[in-house]
Structure 1
Amino acid sequence: MARNKPKTVLAALACVSLAALTGCAGQADYATEPFIGFEPVGSIDETYDVYYDKGTESGMHDVIIAEGDHRVLSCLGEPVLICYDGDKSGEGELIIVIAEEGTETTILDYNGEEIEMQKTETPADIESPAPVFVTQAPVLEDREGFSWSWRGLDANGEELWTK
């Protein structure tokens, strides 16, 4: 997020694995089961299953997640949102940042270092209020104090995956 929006700093400290960005082929099995509290809303090009979180069970709001190859395609709702794919591999989550138009967007890792961003195209059939950024950060063992560092957990600490 934006440097002038301190409330988003904790969200910026979420992490993803390089494998989630580049090693998706062959890892699709991580994303074969739907999330609890996510309502299926269709698919994109018959490739990605899309789920919409109504914010009731999971505590997250207005999130569209495309499963199948560990890529979140878009988010809806508030100007700044964080999404993740709930990867249970132990290698971290794929994080998407939605930043307000016209803001200077800087994403930080756990060490406070700026990390690379990649602006992505928003699918034409999904509206997004702002640019979509995909980013990656290292996974650190010590996550104490970072409430955004869940691994497949909702706001209540419950797993988002069906058994």
Structure 2
Amino acid sequence: MRVLLASLTLLLTACGFQPMYAPVDGANAIGPVQIAEIEGRAGHVLRTELTRILAAENDGSPPANLQVTLTEVVTPLGIRIDESATRSELRLTANYILTPAQAGARVMRGSVSTVVNYDIPRAAFGEITAQDDARERAAESMAQRFRAELALRIAQARQG
């Protein structure tokens, strides 16, 4: 079994396989990132989650600066007979600019988006609560996607 594992490892290294989250030199995949304030409730949740997730990348080197602009669109989906919505879709789109700490390094721009659906209850303030919950879930999901996006973009910049 060990021989098989060792031979598979050699085959993977021979084909140019490189893990995305573990650069060859042992450095962090992303490095430290300072996240600017993000407007709105979803922005607060996104910034808090990103700060928590990216804290593991802090190695004491100068941090890159991440600026994020969030756009939120709510679309009603299911319609009752009285023309009120029964379901809605909340789409969060974050446009970002990552400015590396090193002078002369390439600034990265991109966009990350996530969609969350939620039911609209008939209760008086149920829609507000459901939408707030959907907003928080979307921001938490987006933070995970952001981490993957940044790691991929930085890995591509290191290679090219």
TM-score range for the pair, normalised by the shorter chain length:
under 0.3
- Whose relative contact order is higher, 1 or 2, with alpha carbons under 8 Å and at least 6 apart? 1
Q: Give the helix-richer structure, 1 or 2.
A: 2
Q: Give the strand-richer structure, 1 or 2.
A: 2
Q: TM-score, normalised by structure 2?
A: 0.24
